Amino acid sequence: MSKELKRTPLYPLYTRYGAKTVDFGGWELPVQFSSIKEEHRTVREKAGLFDVSHMGEVEVTGEGAFPFLQYIVTNDLERLKPGKVLYTPICNEKGGVKDDFLIYQLKASHYLLVPNAANAEKVVRWLREQAPDDVTIADRSATYALLAVQGPLAASIIQTMTETDIQDIPFFRFQEKVVVAGIEVLLSRTGYTGEDGFEMYTSHENAPLLWEELLEAGKTKGLLPCGLGARDTLRFEACLPLYGQEISESISPLEAGLTFAVRLKKNSDFIGKSALIEQKKTGLSRKICGIEMMDKGIPRTGYDVLNEDGKRIGLITSGTQSPTFQKNMGLALIETPYTEKGSTLYVRIRKKTLKAVVVPMPFYMRERG
């Protein structure tokens, strides 16, 4: 490792909680604290605390912010209002995904975008290239820390730390200037685990105290610090795409099954729109689908997927042994004719060709109360 790894403001606390760190796209981040399986189970049954401060934060402001962002994103910002969050991909001209992120509407002329860490600089550059004079792009990634509390007990834990009635915040809504344990945060009911939960944006200097206060408040409810390993297995079971795997510059959001976030009928042009319309018209030649192994073996990113005749029909984008179901499962980008539920296909795992079947997505969906 020649380049020095970036660290979040919580880095000094990691060792105290037993973290094992890894190089994650240039960031030294905890892959696990106790064990991926235990952390995964804790989030599904109780609640887990994640440091996701590596995520980017970009503010877009100005009179032209709304029409500008409408031109950049595939989702329709008409669905936003102050206090609401929207998930959207952004595309290149060919309809490939440049990044996917949440957009917070603070005011009609003020938005907060949260790009993936590895794409943050690229997104800022892309926005600046396109932005008209009445729009300002400010990279705030070095200002914000981001903590996520995820799991069925997340709301009840945070509620003990604040006077704001957080049950009043519905999924994909947020409130600014919420005081949690004396610390001001932007509190957002969002996450990347398939569970109920909150994400808290705060300053770098307040982040370590907030982390400690959350763990203290959640102790009796079983809250555990969790790493990126569990975050990945949790999002995998919920079939939430990971940039670089299910989506990339050469995979379209339609191929990735993100049709709910691609509004081809919205009242404005957007980058990639004509390519996506064309793709929809001619039909998708390949799609992301879920698979479950019938033979013994774990599918992993990049493994070839074959049909019965041994012809290559695609590849695995993500795969692991699902901690919730104890089954070896994968997400695969494969030729459309093979994506029917129940279809048999084969995964090349090292020297073996092992049988798998197409299964419905998402693998995991929480029960909503």
Please give the DSSP secondary-structure letter assigned to residue 211: H
Measured from the CB atom, the residue of 155 and 298 that comes closer to other proteins is 298
> CB of 289: closest distance to other proteins in angstroms?
22
Interface positions, 54-93, toward other proteins (CB under 8 A) = none
Task: Report the distance separating Cα 58 and Cα 78, nearest Å.
Answer: 20
CA-only gyration radius of the chain, Å: 21
Query: Judged by CB under 8 A, which of 321, 324, 336, 343 binds other proteins?
Result: 321
What is the closest distance, in whole angstroms, from the C-beta atom of residue 331 to other proteins in the complex? Answer: 15
Residue 150 or 328: the one with the smaller Cβ distance to other proteins is 328
Strand partners, 73: 90
By CB under 8 A, tell whether 48 contacts other proteins: no
95 binds other proteins (CB under 8 A): no
Q: Does 32 bind other proteins (CB under 8 A)?
A: yes
| Rounded CA separation 273/313 (Å) | 27
Using rule CB under 8 A, residue 323 touches other proteins = yes
Binding-site size for other proteins (CB under 8 A) equals 19
When binding is defined by CB under 8 A, the residue of 155, 264, 298, 357 that contacts other proteins is 298
- Contacts for 321 with CB less than 8 Å, ≥ 6 apart: 298, 327, 328, 329
Tell me the window of 28-36, 49-57, 192-200, 237-245 that interacts with other proteins (CB under 8 A): 28-36
Nearest distance, CB of residue 105 and other proteins, angstroms: 36
Among 320, 334, 345, 346, binds other proteins (CB under 8 A): 320
**Shortest distance in whole angstroms from residue 328 CB to other proteins:** 8
3-state DSSP of 132-187:
CCCCEEEECCCCEEEEEEECCCHHHHHHCCCCCCHHHCCCCEEEEEEEECCEEEEE
Task: Give the 3-state secondary structure of 32-97.
Answer: ECCCHHHHHHHHHHCCEEEECCCCCCEEEECCCHHHHHHHHECCCHHHCCCCEEEEEEEECCCCCE
Question: Of 31, 118, 215, 264, which one interacts with other proteins (CB under 8 A)?
Answer: 31
Closest CB to other proteins among 38 and 335? Answer: 38
Asked if 366 and 309 count as a contact pair (C-beta separation under 8 A), the reply is no
Q: What b/e sequence results for 170-195 when a residue is b if at least 16 CB atoms lie within 10 Å of its CB, and e otherwise?
A: eeebbbeebebbebbbbbbbbbbbbb
Instruction: Among 84, 300, 355, 366, indicate the residue that binds other proteins (CB under 8 A).
Output: 300
Of 37 and 366, nearer to other proteins (C-beta) is 37
Distance of closest approach, residue 150 Cβ to other proteins, in angstroms? 17
Q: Which is nearer to other proteins, 188 or 328 (CB)?
A: 328
Q: Which DSSP helix (H) or strand (E) runs through 312?
A: strand 312-322
Q: Which stretches of 192-262 are assigned E, i.e. beta strand?
A: 197-203, 224-226
In the list 225, 297, 314, 330, the residue contacting other proteins (rule: CB under 8 A) is 297
Q: Are strands 48-51 and 224-226 parallel, antiparallel or unpaired?
A: parallel
Contact flag: residue 41 with other proteins (CB under 8 A): no
CB-wise, 180 or 293, nearer to other proteins?
A: 293
Binding segment (CB under 8 A) for other proteins, from list 51-59, 118-126, 132-140, 315-323: 315-323
Question: Binding of other proteins at residue 330 (CB under 8 A)?
Answer: no
Q: Return the residues of window 219-258 that contact other proteins according to CB under 8 A.
A: 229, 232-233
Instruction: List the one residue out of 242, 190, 193 whose CA is nearest residue 364.
Output: 193
Residues that bind other proteins (CB under 8 A): 20, 31-32, 35-37, 40, 229, 232-233, 296-298, 300, 320-321, 323, 328, 350
